[in-house]
């Protein structure tokens, strides 16, 4: 298995994975478009890490990097259900930490759905502290309000 930064050739696999795991989506309409994924791959202030086995993406972590402020927001982490409990998250997470260190980022945060107990347990194991409950609000609008 290889852990690496996502490339444009991964677009279709990433699109499928990001839109297949509804437990990570906060809203019902949270669908990752191919344009969004492509922009994320190409954005120097984003980090999209993948775990690959036999040319198949089996895991990912997506994060924003606010290098100027030394902060990162970890948006999404997914490990394919058939590859869970095999240390893949640990390898992706360690790769992410190396990127943070390289960019002199000393703090990250993430949001987790209240009913996603699996990731909450994993985060606790890695000493990532729960800071409190929050509510997610969103609004969709068309340009030209």
Query: Following DSSP, what letter does each residue of 58-83 receive, concatenated?
Result: EEEEEEEEEGGGTEEEEEEEEE-GGG
Q: How far is CA 67 from CA 47, 74, 92, 98, 106, in A?
A: 12, 13, 20, 14, 10
Distance separating alpha carbons of residues 104 and 83, to the nearest angstrom: 31
| pLDDT tens per residue across span 98-137 | 999 999 999 998 887 777 788 888 888 878 888 888 777 7
Residue ranges and CATH numbers for the domains of the chain are: 2-125 (3.40.630.30)
pLDDT band, very low/low/confident/very high, at 26 (cuts 50, 70, 90): low
Q: What is the dihedral of CA 29, 30, 32, 37, to 10 degrees?
A: 140
| pLDDT for the residue numbered 142 | 78
Task: Look up the pTM and report it.
Answer: 0.85
């Amino acid at each position: 298995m290889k852990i690496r930064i996502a490339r444009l050739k991964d677009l279709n696999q990433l699109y499928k994975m990001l839109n297949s795991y509804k437990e990570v989506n906060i809203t019902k309409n949270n669908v990752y478009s191919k344009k969004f994924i492509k922009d994320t791959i190409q954005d120097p202030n984003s980090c999209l890490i993948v775990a690959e086995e036999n040319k198949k993406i089996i895991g990912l972590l997506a994060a924003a990097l606010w290098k100027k402020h030394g902060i990162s927001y970890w948006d999404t982490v997914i490990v394919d259900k058939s590859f869970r409990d095999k240390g893949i998250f640990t390898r992706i997470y360690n790769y992410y930490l190396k990127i943070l260190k390289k960019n002199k980022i000393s703090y990250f945060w993430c949001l987790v759905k209240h009913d996603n107990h699996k990731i909450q347990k994993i985060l606790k194991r890695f000493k990532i502290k729960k800071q409190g409950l929050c509510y997610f609000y969103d609004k969709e609008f068309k340009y030209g309000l």
